[in-house]
A and B are shown apart, each in its own frame.
Chain A
């Protein structure tokens, strides 16, 4: 009985810290505790309860301080290791976007046929950041589109009553693996064809990631309008994406390479671009058709 009231008072003390008024269920025991600090019928429970209560706050403080110092140490270590592999400045270039750029780029991904000038503009040998140049690739849209795709896949599977949390992780890792494989294949192709261009790994990652926008649109249309809507949206976004990729990669890959480029290299670059473009609809279909039945 005293044990229960001790626990009840403990709960009500914590509840009193969180919310000002304790619920009426615990009124009696809290009043009983505060009025009788020492005269408890069960001193064993009282001592145990007192010890717990005394160590609660300082222990929490010590633990919090320790956790904060560990977290900052861990953060420094992660930063150091990350700086060895990925140059953060180059990565930051891809994330300097603003709302107008994102809106125009999304419109360009859906309808690229009227865009005239596909060259990436430079200022003093440095490519302009995406905020100032519509043609510059960015990594913000692919990242957000990837996350949205994973969430949308979860929702679509939930609608079909095939959802479970493992499926979400599996979907995310499958899509990530396909992106990694595509970027590796593109890097290998660029190396074999000795294309010396501005296309770094992050550029390829950005161009690979743009297909997620098409995937999201196809899945959404498929969910809203059924299977026919899915195929129509798939055809539209695939052709738009293929056109976008071919135009962008041609100007990006051929940029500094126009010093009398020999014949076979141009052919190789063209095949590479066409191959990359033709791969997009396949992968869009592969990653989304099981979501729209």
Chain B
């Protein structure tokens, strides 16, 4: 399994895209991962599930706009250079 840095970037882009397409209302609420369903008060211990939900929500919020730009650039580059 020989990796290049380019394949790492591609894999990272695909993973972030995968996180970004998880729809809040249609999907996450149905499996109980919506962001208004989790947090059980202000105790010290968030637990893995709420940490994961926080992570998904923050990734989606932060990376929405940059992902549009990066995806467009990647599509154009792949069309031009294969």
Interface, chain A (partner B; CB < 8 A) = 170-171, 173-174, 176-178, 180-181, 191-194, 262, 264-265, 268, 286
Contact = CB atoms under 8 A, between A and B. Distances in A.
B3 A177 contact: yes
Q: How large is the interface on B (under 10, 10 to 19, 20 to 34, 35 or more residues)?
A: 10 to 19
B48 A176 contact: no
A173 B51 contact: no
Contact of B4 (A173, A178, A194, A268): A173
A98 to B, nearest CB: 33
A193 B45 CA distance: 10
Contacts of A264: 45, 47
B14 interface: no
Q: Which of A170, A173, A180 is most buried by chain B, counting CB atoms within 10 A of its CB?
A: A173
A171 B48 CA distance: 36
Contacts of A181: 8
B50 to A, nearest CB: 10
A180 B47 CA distance: 26
Given A191-B55, A192-B52, A176 B5 contact: yes
Interface in B23-82: 44-48, 51-52, 55
A262 B47 CA distance: 11
**Closest A-B pairs by Cβ, 8 of them:** A177-B3, A177-B8, A174-B3, A192-B51, A170-B2, A173-B4, A192-B48, A174-B2
Contacts of A177: 3-5, 7-8
Given A173-B3, A173-B4, A268 B45 contact: no
A154 to B, nearest CB: 14
8 contacts: A171-B2, A174-B2, A176-B5, A177-B5, A180-B8, A192-B51, A262-B44, A265-B45
